């Protein structure tokens, strides 16, 4: 990606997300991110593609301040992530984790969806309304009183999405949203995501899901951005994909 491209896409309003020079190494000194630059305009849906261990999830955890970079910056809608802005950035960026069992920890679905907004100071009638609206948006309104363990994988994934939607984020970050989903559940989740009309960053190695949901894709490997193109162009470049341990499912070909 050249910086000019991103600026041209963004126009005058501040970018929904601007990541520059993001560098991070895990305590065992293995470098995970080696200078990531990425810019997303409001309303865009962008896929972050890459093989296992490329640093995709590590990148996602930085956008919410769960991990702190050793160098580089994250800006959300013009607000620079730092100790003082941590709370506000967490409100603005909604992170949906890969395993819904990690995200859903309260005894009932309704209480779990209320957890986020309650942390951000929403109370009483407004809180109840947020919970209702978020569960409604993912088609799970009638399950508010059930424990998460009694739901199917697809339902849990949608509830995990609702727990984040209830915080009304500016940017939705999804880590492998299609993992472990049966085809119907996968399609239902795609319908929900497309219907939200929100700015979205989706980390995945499910290339067809990226094609279905995101007009633009960023290929990350070994902690750096390798390519940033329209998804269809990127997926049609078989040489590029093969060079980074990615390939379309058997029998699928994009012209």
Beta carbons within 8 Å of 251's beta carbon, 6+ residues apart: none
Q: How far is the CB of 114 from other proteins (least distance, A)?
A: 7
CB of 135 to other proteins, least distance (A): 16
User: Contact positions toward other proteins, by CB under 8 A?
Assistant: 61, 64, 66, 87, 90-91, 94-95, 97, 99, 101-108, 111, 114-116, 118-120, 147-149, 163-164, 167
d(CA 244, CA 147): 41
Q: DSSP letter at 245?
A: T
Q: What value, to the nearest 5°, has the Cα angle with vertex 37 and ends 216 and 97? A: 65
Q: Nearest distance from residue 82's CB to other proteins, in Å?
A: 16
Considering the complex, state which of residue 148 and residue 177 has its C-beta at the smaller distance from other proteins.
148
| Rg of the chain in Å (alpha carbons) | 18
Give the nearer residue to other proteins in terms of CB position, either 111 or 222: 111
Rounded CA gap, 65 and 53, in Å?
A: 20
Maximum pairwise Cα distance, the chain: 55
List the structure tokens of 229. Answer: 């193109």
- Nearer Cβ to other proteins (175/221): 175
Give the nearer residue to other proteins in terms of CB position, either 156 or 216. 156
> Are 54 and 226 within 8 A, CB to CB?
no
Least CB distance to other proteins at residue 108 (A): 7
Query: What is the SS3 assignment for 107-155?
Result: CCHHHHHHHHHHHCCCCHHHHHHHHHHHHHHCCCHHHCCCCHHHCCHHH
Complex with other proteins: residue 97 or 209, whichever CB lies closer? 97
**Which residue's CB is nearer to other proteins, number 148 or number 223?**
148
Q: How far is CA 126 from CA 58, 122, 123, 213, in A?
A: 34, 7, 6, 31
Minimal distance in Å, beta carbon 106 to other proteins?
7
Shortest distance, position 157 Cβ to other proteins, whole Å: 13
């Amino acid at each position: 990606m050249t910086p000019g491209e991103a600026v041209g896409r963004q126009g005058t309003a501040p970018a929904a997300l601007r990541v520059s020079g993001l560098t991070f190494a895990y305590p065992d000194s293995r470098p995970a991110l080696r200078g990531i630059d990425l810019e997303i305009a409001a309303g865009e849906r962008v896929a972050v593609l890459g093989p296992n261990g490329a640093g995709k999830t590590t990148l996602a955890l930085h956008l919410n301040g769960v991990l702190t970079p050793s160098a580089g910056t994250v800006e959300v809608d013009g607000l620079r992530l730092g100790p003082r802005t941590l709370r506000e950035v967490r409100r603005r960026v909604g992170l949906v984790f890969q395993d819904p069992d990690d995200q859903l920890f309260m005894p009932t679905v309704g209480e779990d969806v209320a957890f986020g907004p309650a942390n951000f100071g929403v109370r009483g009638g407004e809180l109840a309304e947020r919970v209702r609206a978020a569960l409604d948006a993912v088609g799970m309104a009638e399950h508010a009183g059930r424990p998460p363990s009694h739901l199917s994988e697809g339902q849990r994934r949608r509830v995990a999405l609702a727990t984040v939607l209830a915080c009304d984020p500016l940017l939705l970050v999804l880590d492998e949203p299609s993992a472990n989903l049966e085809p119907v559940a996968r399609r239902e989740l795609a319908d929900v995501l497309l219907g939200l009309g929100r700015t979205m960053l989706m980390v995945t190695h499910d290339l067809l899901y990226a094609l279905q949901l995101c007009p633009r894709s960023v290929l990350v490997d070994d902690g750096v951005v390798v390519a940033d193109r329209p998804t269809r162009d990127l997926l049609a470049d078989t040489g590029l994909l093969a060079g980074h341990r990615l390939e379309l499912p058997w029998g699928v070909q994009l012209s």
